[in-house]
């Protein structure tokens, strides 16, 4: 499936088999934004704040 970062629009091709039914979080390699993705390929419009390290 194809997903795009909601902050910088970087495109990713993700293997559908790697996404659990409840969805997952993806961290953009370009801008470091963490955003949720669902098994149907939908990503959130609003980026989520990264968890503190």
Q: If you count DSSP H runs as helices and E runs as strands, how many of each does the chain have, helices first?
A: 0, 4
Residue 17, domain member (yes or no): yes
pTM of the complete model beyond 0.75: no
Residue 28, domain member (yes or no): yes
Residue 42, domain member (yes or no): no
Pairwise CA distance, residues 45 & 36, whole Å: 9
Q: How many domains does the chain have?
A: 1
Residue 23's domain comprises 2-37
Residue 9 has pLDDT above 70, yes or no: yes
pLDDT band at 41 (very low <50, low <70, confident <90, very high): low
């Amino acid at each position: 499936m194809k997903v795009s970062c909601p902050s910088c629009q970087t495109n990713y091709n993700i293997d559908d088999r790697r996404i659990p039914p409840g969805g997952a979080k993806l961290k953009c390699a370009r801008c470091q934004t963490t955003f949720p993705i669902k098994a149907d390929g939908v990503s959130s419009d609003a980026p989520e704040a990264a968890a503190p390290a």
